[in-house]
Amino acid sequence: MSMRGAAAPLREPDLLDQFVKDWGYLAVAVGAFAEGETVLLAAGYASRAGWLELWRVIAVAVLAASAGDQTFYWIGRLWGGALLRRLPRLQAKLERVLLLLRRNPGGAVVAVRFLYGLRIAGPILIGAAGVTPARFAVFNVLGALLWAPLVAGLGWGFGHAWEHVSRRLAGFEFGLLLLLALVLLGSWLARLALRAWMRRALARRAGSARGDASGPPRRL
């Protein structure tokens, strides 16, 4: 059977490349629905490597993040009171969110997406606090439109910077390896020269000893 039409087996880098292309956008959607920063940073880096397209990563992240926060908002609006009674840790974050809402309700909806510890709790508490669905929906999308390009762009920028660093490191490593090779070569040549000198010195001593033994006896 001819093997001309058979595809060549994929190498490990090719397998990783194909895996990210097949599942990368799904991972972005799942990650952005909840916390999302780590997955989105990785996706931004993958887009710099050519595995994903940056605009698609951002679009998926905006849609998934908006849907996620909208879901958490409605959980808080419908069952916020019961959750606050049962979850002391959630209750402890309520005052912080209420302070943000008193200052600027729309800004609070945007801000909780960027505040540590409030990525999921924030929308729940905002829903429990009674912010209207229309206001939350508008500022929720606005926050996602700001958040997704920023985080994905950071990942892309890291990938761009790493390319330059890796090139310099590659050059440094080559120079270091070359220096190490020269040191080893010099050490090997020096060892050969030392052995040759020791052999000649021993040969001279042996010749001198034989000469002394074959000559007239020395007077003491």
Burial of 62 from C-beta contacts in 10 A (0-12 / 13-18 / 19+): buried
Q: How many CB atoms within 10 Å of residue 138?
A: 13
Domain range list for the chain: 13-159
Among residues 135, 140, 147, 126, which one has the least CA distance to residue 39? 147
47 Cβ neighbours under 8 A, 6+ residues apart? 53, 54, 57, 152, 155, 156, 159
Q: pLDDT tens digits for 109-149?
A: 999 998 888 889 999 999 999 999 999 999 999 999 999 99
Query: Which pLDDT value is given to residue 122?
Result: 94
Query: Which pLDDT value is given to residue 219?
Result: 43
Task: Report the percent of the chain where pLDDT is more than 70.
Answer: 64
Query: Which pLDDT value is given to residue 20?
Result: 73
Low-confidence ranges of the chain (pLDDT < 70): 1-17, 19, 160-220
Query: Which pLDDT value is given to residue 220?
Result: 39
Cα–Cα distance measured from residue 112 to residue 88, given in angstroms and rounded to the nearest whole number? 19
Query: Which pLDDT value is given to residue 12?
Result: 47
Output DSSP code: residue 11: P
Q: Are 97 and 108 in contact (CB under 8 A)?
A: yes
Give first-to-last CA distance, the chain, whole Å: 95
Residue located via tokens 């994903």: 52
Output DSSP code: residue 3: -
* pTM of the shown model: 0.67
